[in-house]
Structure 1
């Protein structure tokens, strides 16, 4: 009996081992699925197609529980990063730095505006923030210079004294840019190049000698009549083109500065 039982037992065990173990198929199927997904992704990203790129990006974002974006990533208030920049490492850092630079320039603009307004001189300058930085335009040629002259008026001294107080603490490089209207220069200037350069130099000297701004931060350049703001021969056009701009230059990298105009435009609603 014992021998029979052992025989039956061996037969029973042999039957169990003769059946194929297919548990490996589950793991194999998972591996094949993962490989298929990998090749689909590789194929999709190898085709330069912004629409497919957006669909793939949003599909992966949804799969991983992240928010989707349309037309680029809105990484900072009012600033949409183009889709081609979304693949760059550190793009979020670039966008944030651009926003911080705009904030810094706007604070500087507000400080100058407040200082001038306290003396009733707020209408003597205008401002533009762009990829270069903050441009402070000295408005109204007669306010700052007599016709065909580079000597600063008493009102110009008052305005530059207030502007210089703010700029002395800023630390940014400053470009002083002189301009002239299209009429031919007269004595003591041989051309509008000398006239515009002399006006820029007068402003630069005032900021350095009277406001204590380091000369290493300042440059003066004349553009003659080559960069008019307004076309025509009217008194308004001539006065607008006869000007000096004080540019507080941004020290950020080019990639950061390139985002500033779009951010300023979005912030102003236009």
Structure 2
């Protein structure tokens, strides 16, 4: 009996090896961390090409935002800062090119307005979000109606031809009224009138088969987005309008300075 007790005591005095489990887990995590850090600090040609393809799809649908062969060599020391700087330069180029194109379109529209004596009925405005063409309702529709006048159809087709240069840009056509209520057999209120006017004008634009209907949106705003006071007849006249807006794709908080073409 005494011998059994002695052997049992010797067994209990063996060193505790339970610390090996957390130690091995820690070593595994450290190894994984170093592998990740190494991978982040080195970009081989295949990884760069995959990143390039991804950014191409985001910015231009895969049309060459990054040229791997010309921009970056295949050495594995290319930094993320280099890639970020290259992307920023490309984005700046895209913003500048877009600005130049929109400035040229505005100039073309302004010349059309002047040549046809429409300065009292049409106006253009280019800002950091869009190029907007504002058309007075008297240039487009008979009073209280939504059928586009024959002369206005010519105007719509001329605008559509100019929009051919921007086939992949979203175009919003929005109708607006003054705050005088309308109630007829055709229109219950100003919401209906402004919506149908915008839709009818947009449909004439889309008679041009070079334009993609999926890029166009027609909306009616009724009297709820005035640009002038409805307390005067002049203000109400300004509020009755249709706006055609070409939405920028490359917007930036800082204005891109471009000298308009004379």
TM-score, normalising length: structure 2? 0.59
Q: Which of the numbers 213, 238, 244 marks the counterpart of 1:246?
A: 244
Cα distance in structure 1, aligned partners of 2:246 and 2:127: 11
Q: Is the 8 Å Cα contact of residues 112 and 162 (structure 1) preserved in structure 2? A: no
Partners of 2:175 and 2:195 within 8 A in 1: yes
1:159 aligns with 2:155: yes
Counterpart secondary structure, 1:183: coil
Range with bigger deviation, 116-125 or 226-235: 116-125
Post-superposition CA distance 1:110-146 (Å, at most 9, x none): 22233444444455321111233211111x3211122
Within the candidate set 114, 126, 144, 1:148 is matched to 144
CA distance in 1, matches of 2:165, 2:98: 16
Structure 2 equivalent of residue 111 of structure 1: 108
Cα-Cα RMSD: 2.5
Q: Which of 210, 213, 217 is 2:211 aligned to?
A: 213
Report the 3-state secondary structure (helix = DSSP H, G, I; strand = E; otherwise coil) of the residue aligned with 1:114.
Answer: helix
Residue 179 (structure 2) pairs with residue 185 (structure 1): no
**Gaps (5+ residues) in structure 1?**
1-87
Q: Could you say what secondary structure the match of 2:228 adopts?
A: coil
In structure 1, distance between residues paired with 2:163 and 2:222: 26
1:179 deviation in Å? 0.8
TM-score, normalized by length of structure 1? 0.57
**Contact residue 175 and residue 218 of structure 1 kept, 8 A:** yes
Distance (whole Å) between structure 2 residues aligned to residue 248 and residue 119 of structure 1? 22
Give the CA deviation at 1:211: 6.3
Equivalent residue for 1:194, pick from 185, 192, 195:
192
Give the CA deviation at 1:157: 1.6
Determine which structure has more spread, i.e. the larger CA radius of gyration.
1
Tell me the residue number matched to 1:224: 222
Could you list the per-position Cα deviations for residues 27-81 of structure 1 after superposition, in whole angstroms to 9, with x for gaps in the alignment?
A: xxxxxxxxxxxxxxxxxxxxxxxxxxxxxxxxxxxxxxxxxxxxxxxxxxxxxxx
CA-CA distance at 1:267 after TM superposition: 6.4
Deviation of 1:249 (Å): 1.6
Q: What is the rounded CA distance, in whole Å, between the counterparts of 2:119 and 2:238 in structure 1?
A: 17
1:168 lines up with 2:164 in the alignment: yes
State yes or no: 1:259 paired with 2:253. yes
Pairwise mapping of residues 78-117 of structure 1 onto structure 2 (< 5 A)? Answer: 89=85, 90-117=87-114
